[in-house]
């Protein structure tokens, strides 16, 4: 588990440092920026995020150098093979030729150097002289270096006295707790550390992200976990021995018991004398007869005058045994009123409603867009669509839709810093 393999975690102070660094790079009057911090403070991870953010600028090119490896590990322009190795004696000459050819096509050029203190003093001084002696280079080139804070590199540090300095600070206890919880979430671990444990780890790491992750790896050492599991299995095996002894004794006693013959009881049939049937009296219940009414007359009929198939028969609540006459009033029929259907579509004030989205970026390659957005904290899920602009098809990544433009602007302002570095735009839905 390394910091550069995790998605960018929007937690202060790293979130604010990345925002300030991107803003300084976009200022054309700033030509030299120095980011300093101790080992494990997250300098290399911030450089990776800065590369991703600056790659969206189509008017600029960039190149990234590694001091520890003495080579160019990233470039988005064509460079000669002689420029890829920093220990080449002709590196400064090829470096000057590359700058001149690139600035003929691009408006700006970014140079990022990681672990600059690992490079030789002569090489750094040569690069600084090339940028300072040519006025065009000084206005169109931005140099961003990342270095440690060890006092043994004072000679190289003097070269960056005029640079805009950004110092990485450690996290406090609350920020460290949020950082650890998000790491466990990304690594799909359900472990929760107490505040005392977080305080212990934060004190040992001085609040720096890279050091904190290394301590978490030791804190969750799989060998220690396997030892604890072995102890649990041994304890369970020891405790289960008495129960196994009792079970074996019970089995032995059950095998020595005598087998009893099964006794079958035959059923005994007893004949009972037949009883005479008891006559059942049928009680005649007086009923009322209701016939359909065709005229305004009252009808009262007896049971013998009407066929059973035409009657509605039901018991009466009268105490008399004879049928009672029923006064039936004529039914008043209410005339049916036809309701005309109302055309709701014509009565509704139709207004054209447009949804708005937040454009995250655009590129001719969808894969390049996905690589750029990978690891960023995106609310919801990024969507992709392809449109045609000036005869060429490009892919656009966006989030939304929002109900109106004001909601989209508010959503854009609340996006995390890792997305604020992108060329965000609010526009109507595609």
What pLDDT digit, counting tens, does each position of 270-308 carry? 555 566 666 665 555 655 555 555 444 444 444 444 444
CA dihedral 282, 283, 284, 286 (to 10 degrees): -160
H-helix or E-strand containing 376? none
* Residue labelled with tokens 């090339």: 130
Which of 62, 66, 64, 44 lies closest to 54, judged by CA?
62
**Are 189 and 180 a contacting pair, CB within 8 Å?**
no
In a structure prediction context, what are the per-residue pLDDT tens digits for the chain, which is 430 residues long? 555 566 776 777 888 888 899 988 888 778 899 999 988 888 988 998 998 889 888 889 999 999 888 888 888 887 777 677 787 888 888 888 888 888 888 889 999 999 998 898 999 999 999 988 888 888 899 999 999 887 666 788 888 888 999 999 889 888 888 888 888 887 777 778 888 888 888 888 888 888 888 888 766 545 444 444 555 667 677 776 777 766 676 666 555 544 444 444 555 555 555 666 666 655 556 555 555 554 444 444 444 444 444 444 445 444 444 444 444 444 445 555 555 554 545 544 445 567 889 998 888 888 888 888 887 888 878 889 988 887 888 899 998 888 888 888 888 888 888 788 888 888 888 7
CATH topology of domain 3-167: Rossmann fold (3.40.50)
Q: pTM for the whole thing?
A: 0.51
The Cα–Cα gap between 59 and 36 comes to 28
Among the CATH numbers 2.20.25.90, 3.30.70.1070, 3.40.30.10, 3.40.50.2300, which is that of 356-428?
3.30.70.1070
Other beta carbons within 10 angstroms of residue 115's beta carbon come to 19
Q: What are phi and psi of 225, to 5 degrees?
A: -65, -40
């Amino acid at each position: 588990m390394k910091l550069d393999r995790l998605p960018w975690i929007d937690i202060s102070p790293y979130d604010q440092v990345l925002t300030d660094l991107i803003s300084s790079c976009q200022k054309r009057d700033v030509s030299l920026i120095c980011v300093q911090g101790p080992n494990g403070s997250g300098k290399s991870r911030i450089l990776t995020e800065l590369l991703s953010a600056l790659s969206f600028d189509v008017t600029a090119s960039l190149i990234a150098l590694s001091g520890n490896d003495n080579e160019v590990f990233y470039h988005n322009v064509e460079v000669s093979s002689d420029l890829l190795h920093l220990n080449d004696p002709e590196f400064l000459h090829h470096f000057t030729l590359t700058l001149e050819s690139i600035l003929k096509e691009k408006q700006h050029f970014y140079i990022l150097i990681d672990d600059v203190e690992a490079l030789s003093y002569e090489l750094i001084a040569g690069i600084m002289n090339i940028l300072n002696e040519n006025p065009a280079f000084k206005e169109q080139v931005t140099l961003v270096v990342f270095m440690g804070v060890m006092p043994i590199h004072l000679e190289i540090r003097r070269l960056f006295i005029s640079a805009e300095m950004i110092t990485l600070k450690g996290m406090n206890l609350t920020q460290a707790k949020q950082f650890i919880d998000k790491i466990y979430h990304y690594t799909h671990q359900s472990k929760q550390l107490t505040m005392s444990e977080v305080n212990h780890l934060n004190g040992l790491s001085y609040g720096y992200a890279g050091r904190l992750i290394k301590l978490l790896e030791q804190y969750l050492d799989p060998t220690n976990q396997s030892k604890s599991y072995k102890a649990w299995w041994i304890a369970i095996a020891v405790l289960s021995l008495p129960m196994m002894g009792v079970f074996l004794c019970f089995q032995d006693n059950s095998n020595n018991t005598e087998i009893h013959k099964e006794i079958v009881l035959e059923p005994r049939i007893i004949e009972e004398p037949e009883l005479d049937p008891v006559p059942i009296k049928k009680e005649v219940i007086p009923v009322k007869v209701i016939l359909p009414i065709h005229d305004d007359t009252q009808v009262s009929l007896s049971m013998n005058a009407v066929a059973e198939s035409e009657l509605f028969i039901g018991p009466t609540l009268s105490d008399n045994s004879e049928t009672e006459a029923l006064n039936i009033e004529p039914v008043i029929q209410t005339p049916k009123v036809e309701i005309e259907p109302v055309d709701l579509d014509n009565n509704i004030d139709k207004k054209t409603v447009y949804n708005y989205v937040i454009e995250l970026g655009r590129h001719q390659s969808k894969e390049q867009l996905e690589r750029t957005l990978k690891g960023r904290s995106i609310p919801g899920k990024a969507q992709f669509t392809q449109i045609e602009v000036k005869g060429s098809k490009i892919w656009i990544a966006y989030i939304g839709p929002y109900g109106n433009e004001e909601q989209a602007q508010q959503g854009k302002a609340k996006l995390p810093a890792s997305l604020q570095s992108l060329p965000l735009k609010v526009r109507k839905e595609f």
